[in-house]
Structure 1
Amino acid sequence: MKFYVIGDVTVDHLYHLDHLPAPGEEVAPVRASMEPGGAGGTISVTLARLGHSVTLAARVGDDPFAQYALSHVRESGVSESAIQRDPDVLTSSITVMQAASGQRAMISDGAANRLLDPAKLKKKDVEAADALIVSAYSLTEGPQREYARKAIDIARGAKKPVPVFLDLGAGAVNRAGPSLLESVIQADYLMLNQHELLVLTGTNSISAALTQLGRQGAQRVIVKVGKMGSIVWTPTETELIDAVALEENVVDSTGAGDTFTGAFAHAVMSGATLAQAARAANAAGALSVTSFGAQERPITPADLDEALGK
């Protein structure tokens, strides 16, 4: 399968702490590391490791961080033909502080990613893909927003329409709020977590939120609900897909949602039902949190089969 992915690539600075610092407080991390990250990079790497042909559209600076941010992208064989270089703006970075309780705080700089030039989007590349995957961060601001919306229009208007998978993120939803709904509602597959769902719809329950999305035209919604697994919703059915339990310890949740998205798209495009795809995605998300960093745990089809007990 051929996937065209639009999303950020970043350098992630990860700090694991006993607790998040109060204003003015200085704390020492239990563990600190720097890892390649970003939703676009992580989704692309996940798909490539699962055996697919992937083109990633992102923008990086002309700096040493660019090489590091793209290191796993290159190792995985993802095409860089749609990667743009910015001579003036730095490669994006994110600082993640994660407490032992599970609480997180983040400092995110969209930097070069938000300047992805829509004039360089090639229509034939989107039309040639079997599926388009867009991270909602790409729909928040700057030229990158126009790039993503243009790609979605091309996919939907192609002679053979290209399915659109749209993955939300807390930062994108918190920044744009319900105004983001117009840009994402027509996706063939809309993926988000419980917090993002409630903020996006302005409701206070999952059932009310899904009802609202249905009224506004949503066709397939997949809600990530953490330790409970995920919920698959269509206008005719709602099903909770249990989480996949592993014997390995959870060490870092960075990038788990993006890994989920890549594995879900992999399974759907490989012929799985929505429920089967969600279960495979649950397994991939569970595997991803057993290593530090968004892209450090390679996941293959054999890994998914083993996690699913096949």
Structure 2
Amino acid sequence: MALWNLGSINADHFYRLDHIPAPGETILSGGLSTGLGGKGANMSVAAARAGGRVAHIGAVGRDGQWAIDRLTEYGVDTRPIAKLDAPTGHAIIMLDPQGENAIIVHPGANEAIGEDQIGLALSEAAQGDMLVMQNETNAQAFSAETGSKLGLRVAYAAAPFDADAVRAVLPFIDVLVLNEIEMSQLQAATGLNPSAEMGVATVVVTKGEKGCTLYDQSNGWAAQDFPAIKVDPVDTTGAGDTFTGYFLAGLDRGASNTEAIELAIKASALMVTRQGTADVIPDLKDVLDWQPGAA
């Protein structure tokens, strides 16, 4: 099996700050670093490092070859990535000493991906492969419907949350991953709770340091809670993407929802002990060998 990811590719610029600035406040940064990011790229790297076969469908600007090279280095099939006459997407990430962040994203080429490009990539997918997308690109609804018609298992990470985007893809998706704020926004926008009525077979709600909750038909749609692993966070950026990439790679390998979630929780916990995004996502050996709390 393989995982096809319609996802964003960004240059992430990290600014270390004493605190996240208030409106109208100007403060000095104590440090700056730049690396590969974007929710899509993060998920592709996480899934590849979890042992999955991953092809990334996306776009960069003419200046974005470095990002393609980096994804290739991390084991991602980058042939479906286009170079367009638009700037490569980028993000400004403000980090405080507790590892919390505030993020500004400029989509750039991520919002100029063509349906023909997506269709050509998915023509190589096999029935039973998995397709995942987020809300940092265009053409999610087209991709979800196309993937569903091709017999792919369609997954959706509903971030950044957009009610119209969710409504457009909901009829076609099999797996939904979102955080508890996004779940509240979805309920407010649609009136739907995780249940047979929603029409999504598997719903996972992530809750940061509180772990996550699984809803699926196997347990009659009752909430199944999974605790987080307690760590001292250095940087929470990319932790949710790491969770999603590991979770979907697990499902693609045939793991149960529970097995995939338990590994994803461990991977995301290890991730928040590291500073950065795609470049520091742990590989499967790191995750399996890691003993939380060990010196």
The question of whether the paired residues in 1 share the 8 Å contact of 2:238 and 2:278 is answered with: yes
Asked if 1:150 corresponds to 2:160, the answer is: no
What does residue 156 of structure 2 align with? 166
Q: Larger deviation: 2-11 or 75-84?
A: 75-84
Partner of 2:282: 299
What SS does structure 2 have at the residue aligned with 1:136?
coil
Give me the TM-score of the superposition, normalised by structure 2. 0.88
Q: Percent identity?
A: 27
How far residue 103 of structure 1 moved from its aligned partner, in angstroms, is: 4.8
DSSP 3-state at the match of 1:28: coil
Q: Which residue of 1 aligns with 2:204?
A: 222
Deviation digits for residues 57-95 of structure 1 (CA, Å, limit 9, x no counterpart):
1111112xx1343343021131221111112x1000111
Q: Give a deviation string over 1:28-72, Cα, whole Å, max 9, x none.
A: 223321111011111111122223322111111112xx1343343
Most deviating of 11-20 and 257-266: 11-20
Number of residue pairs the alignment of both structures matches: 286
Question: Matched residues in 1 for 2:164 and 2:81: separation?
Answer: 30
> What is the deviation of 1:24?
3.5
Q: Distance in 2 between matches of 1:264 and 1:49?
A: 12
On the 8 A contact 1:222/1:231 being kept in 2, the answer is yes
> Residue 130 of structure 1 corresponds to which residue in structure 2?
129
The counterpart of 1:201, out of the listed 187, 193, 196, is 187
Are residues 98 and 263 of structure 1, via their aligned partners in 2, closer, same or farther at CA, if it must alter by over 3 Å?
same
User: Partners in 2 of 1:269 and 1:23 — Cα distance?
Assistant: 44
Question: What TM-score results when the alignment is normalised by the length of structure 1?
Answer: 0.84
Query: 1 or 2 for the larger relative contact order (CA 8 Å, sep ≥6)?
Result: 2
Checking the alignment, whether the CA contact within 8 Å between 1:7 and 1:58 is kept in structure 2 is yes
* Cα distance between partner residues in 2 of 1:8 and 1:179: 16
Q: Which one of the candidate residues 75, 79, 88 is aligned to 2:73?
A: 75
Could you tell me how far apart the structure 2 residues matched to 1:96 and 1:72 are? 20
CA distance in 2, matches of 1:182, 1:153: 9
Q: Structure 2 vs 1, CA of residues 112 and 129 (structure 1 numbering), >3 Å: closer, same or farther? A: farther
Q: Which runs of 5+ in 1 are unaligned?
A: 139-143
User: Is the 2:41–2:71 Cα contact (8 Å) retained in structure 1?
Assistant: yes
Q: Which residue of the other structure, out of 236, 246, 249, is the alignment partner of 1:266?
A: 249
Output aligned runs, 1:1-310, within 5 Å: 1-63=1-63, 66-87=64-85, 89-100=86-97, 103-120=100-117, 121-122=119-120, 123-127=122-126, 130-138=129-137, 144-145=138-139, 148-158=140-150, 161-169=151-159, 172-173=160-161, 176-177=162-163, 180-184=166-170, 186-202=172-188, 210-211=193-194, 214-235=196-217, 236=220, 237-246=222-231, 249-307=232-290
TM-aligned CA deviation for residue 232 of structure 1: 0.5
